[in-house]
Amino acid sequence: MKTVIMICACALAFSGCAAYGPSTVSRDGFDYTSAISDSWKQQMLFNIVKIRYGDAPVFLDVASVINQYSVESQVNLLFGWAYPVVAGGTNVQSVGGAARYVDRPTITYSPITGQKFARSLMTPIPPTAVLSLIQAGYPVDLILRISVHTINGIRNRFGGSARARSADPEFYPLLERLRRIQDSGGIGMRFEKKNEMEGVIFTFRGKVSEETNKDSLWVRKTLGLKPDADTFKVVYGSVAKDDREIAIQTRSVLEILVDLSSLIDVPEKHVAEKVVNPTMVEQVADGSAPPPLLRIHSSSARPGNAFIAIPYQGYWFYIDNRDYASKRLFSFIMFIFALTETGGGKEEAPIVTIPVGG
């Protein structure tokens, strides 16, 4: 009987090993991908909130994840017999087993710092990159509203506390008409490279509807472009040199985050205590307020239906899970930041490794 018990215990112990090894790859890959993704979203929202409150942003990257599994088992069998049983004697029979499972991940965190990363964070995005996104199919009004300060001198809104301003009256109508032209297929671009410098030729296509043609003429007139020209050179700057050029003054990633932070619905208590400035309410020419690019709410209690939420200074800041437009824009900002982060100096940053015991 004891032999049977021992064999069964060994079989159970070693059969548990079959659940580890290759079969953990898909499970661990999904779990860690989800955890790192949520961590990045929380970190991005946390830094946007910190910028609004005048605090310095700090980004921390998960450099590596190493997971170790350990399965140990032990079976003991003790059998003793005395015959005949003498006074005070006894028959001893026992069987025992022990098993231990250990999941010991080691996660390496690397602060994203360095001169190269700081420069990439504060350097304006090249106009070629902005127009490449438009060429890829992203809405022209969304891209320009996020990433530019001026187009041929027509200014966009900016929410930075040191130089907050509303958009010029022509800016939003300009974006509206450009979006209609884009939807009709009336916008084209050609990328050219000369002497290691890449440039963009912006084109209004000729075969369009009468309505699109009217929008195109309005855009030319508003931007001070030659009415009968179809192609225009795009450059970085605030002023075009002639009527065949479009000058775009783009923003840096840091300026994008500063502008988005100004849209946060901060608690009235913090405004009253002068912990933070009130949210700027922008009005356009007809007296209406343009819809915000991103809606970040605040609450004294943890929200129940949040896409992402973080605590800060006694309040919760979050994006509602039902607000698809804000979720899409937030994910797009993370994509832009990831492109900038690839030029960082992580290889020179100090590394902090924290073993997590199972």
Confidence class for position 279, pLDDT limits 50, 70, 90: confident
Of 82-91, 190-199, 296-305, the least confident: 82-91
Q: Are 41 and 255 a contacting pair, CB within 8 Å?
A: no
Q: Is the pLDDT of residue 67 over 90?
A: no
The answer to whether the CB of 311 falls within 8 A of the CB of 52 is no
- How much of the chain, in percent, has pLDDT values that exceed 70? 67
With bands split at pLDDT 50, 70 and 90, how would you rate the model's confidence at 60?
confident
Taking the alpha carbons at both ends of the chain, their separation in whole angstroms is 36
Q: Residue 267: is the preceding peptide bond cis (ω within 30°)?
A: no
Domain ranges for the chain, please list them.
Answer: 115-352
CA distances from 228 to 152, 205, 216, 221 (A): 18, 12, 10, 11
| Lowest pLDDT segment from 4-13, 210-219, 291-300 | 4-13
Q: Which of 125, 128, 126, 157 is nearest to 141 (CA)?
A: 157
Average pLDDT, the chain: 79
Contact between residue 329 and residue 294 where contact means Cβ atoms under 8 Å apart: yes
Q: What is the pLDDT of residue 334?
A: 85
* Residue 13 binned pLDDT confidence (cut-offs 50, 70, 90): very low
* pLDDT of the residue at 66: 67
pLDDT exceeds 90 at position 101: no
Q: Is the pLDDT of residue 22 over 90?
A: no
Q: What is the dihedral of CA 334, 340, 344, 346, to 10 degrees?
A: 20
Q: What is the pLDDT of residue 321?
A: 95
Query: What one-character DSSP code corresponds to residue 16?
Result: G
Q: What pLDDT is attached to residue 89?
A: 57
| Nearest to 114, CA basis, from 356, 342, 355 | 342
Which run of H or E residues covers position 39?
helix 24-52
Tell whether the model's pLDDT for residue 262 goes beyond 80: yes
CA 284 centroid distance within chain: 30
The first and second tokens of residue 110, run together, are 């690397």
Please tell me the distance from the alpha carbon of residue 5 to that of residue 296, in angstroms, as a whole number: 62
Confidence of residue 315 (pLDDT cuts 50, 70, 90): very high
Distance CA 274, CA 232 (A): 48
What's the Cα-to-Cα distance from 102 to each of 18, 72, 75, 105, rounded to whole Å? Answer: 15, 9, 18, 10
Q: Are 81 and 94 in contact (CB under 8 A)?
A: no
Q: Give just the sign of the alpha carbon dihedral 318, 54, 258, 280.
A: positive
